[in-house]
Every structure is written in structure tokens, then in C-alpha cells.
Amino acid sequence: MNVTLTQFILDHNHESLSSYLVGVVLLVSILMSGCHRIETMIRFFAIQSLSLILIMFIAGVVNHNPHILIISTIIFVGKCILIPTILMFVLKQIQINREIETYVALPVSMLLNCTLTALIFAIIPNIGIEKELHVLSSGLLSTSISVILIGLFIMMTRKKALVQIIGLYVMENGIFALTIDTIFEMPNVVEMGILLDLLIGALVMGVWVYRIRQSFETINVEELTKLRG
């Protein structure tokens, strides 16, 4: 394991370190909900995944998990390099980069998500789960629930198929945060399997976005109205 990095984490206050990262995760997801360039959204997604992996790494070092470096490296390669690359590739193929029409105006959706997050941060500590669940750094539980809901919000309010995939992955990142917060990590087999599923999922859904573009000449999912009843 990387000795200097480990030493750095142990020397510094790991709680404040991970608190900064939790802040980044939350901020990025709110920014994503108000972002109209798809390329920027993919970059934001990579940043968010990176922060989460760092949080997991810090937690692993503090808990003396011997495999943490390998696991975080693999997840880093999957979530920060491969999935964004696949999504960027799809974006290049379909040549649509801006999303102008949405069901909820983007500034409004940002405000809504801020309110939602504030509400969750106000409510969660009061219902007593926070004390029960193992809290790595203050606010990670509230953050994870907020990120899951923001991901859902993005999926529901956007019309472009590709943006819906990104929303799905934001939601998945929220679940990843929940995993880190409650149980640190899944058994290794499961963790790797989930990553594999996400990778295949990005490929498969990318293909379908491309096919929607081919058949319907748009990637607005509101055009998909052939099947009813």
C-alpha cells in the first residue's frame, strides 16, 4: 500500500478531509441538476465518483482494510475513466450536446433540489437513524439520500435519453455513498459484480440511445409514444 498517502491520511484529521469530499459530492449533484451541457454533466459525474472513491479510500485506510487500494483503483478505472469515456463516445456519435427544453426550467430545478437537500438535512438527524447507522463523517447519510433523489429528479425532468442515463448513474452514486456510510463496502465479489453491471449497462444503454437516434431521429424520450394501452 502507498505508505506516504496512508501516512498523510492518518496524520491529518480524516473526518474533516472526508467532510470536504462529502460537500463536493453534494454540490456537484446540485450543479448537475441545473446543467444543460451534456458534456459538462459527464465531467461532473466523473468528479462526483472520484470524491466518493476518495471517501471510501479514507474509510478503508482508517479501518485498516488491506485490499482498499486495489478495490479503489478498480472502481476508479471503471467509474472515472471507462463509464465517462463510453458516455462521451455516445455523445460524439449522436452529436447532440445541449438540452434546452426540460419539463422543469433548469434554474428552478436547481432551487428545488437545494430545498430538497435542506429538508433532508433537517429531517434525517431527527428521525434517529443517524445515531443508529454508522456515520463516517457527519452528513454522509443525508448526502447519499439527497443524491439518490436528485438522480431520480434528473431522470424524471429531462427529456434526452442520454441525460436519463446520467441521472441513473447519479442515483447509483447515491447508493454507493449509502454503502460507504452504512457498511463501508460490500463483499468484494459483489462490489466487482456491481461495477461490471454498471459498465455493461453503460455500453448497452449507449447502444440503445444510438438506436433511438437512428429510428426516431431525436433522443427526446417524449417522442416515444408508439406503444399505448
Binding site for other proteins (CB under 8 A): 132-133, 148, 152, 155, 161, 164, 168, 171-172, 175, 178-179, 182-183, 186-187, 189-190, 193-194, 196-197, 200-201, 204-205, 207-208, 211-212, 215-216, 221, 224-227, 229
CA distance 206 to 200: 10
C-alpha cell recorded at residue 218: 431525436
Shortest approach of other proteins to residue 5 CB, angstroms? Answer: 25
Closer residue to other proteins (CB): 62 or 114 = 62
Closer residue to other proteins (CB): 121 or 216 = 216
Shortest approach of other proteins to residue 16 CB, angstroms? Answer: 25
Residue 18 burial (C-beta neighbours within 10 Å; 0-12, 13-18, 19+): buried
Q: Decide if 58 contacts 17 (C-beta within 8 A).
A: yes
Closer residue to other proteins (CB): 15 or 197 = 197
Q: Decide if 139 contacts 22 (C-beta within 8 A).
A: yes
Helix, strand, or coil here: 4? Answer: helix
Closer residue to other proteins (CB): 53 or 195 = 195
Scanning the structure block, which residue is given the C-alpha cell 468528479?
A: 47
Closer residue to other proteins (CB): 17 or 96 = 96
Shortest approach of other proteins to residue 104 CB, angstroms? Answer: 19
CA distance 2 to 66: 11
Shortest approach of other proteins to residue 12 CB, angstroms? Answer: 27
Scanning the structure block, which residue is given the C-alpha cell 461532473?
A: 44
Shortest approach of other proteins to residue 51 CB, angstroms? Answer: 19
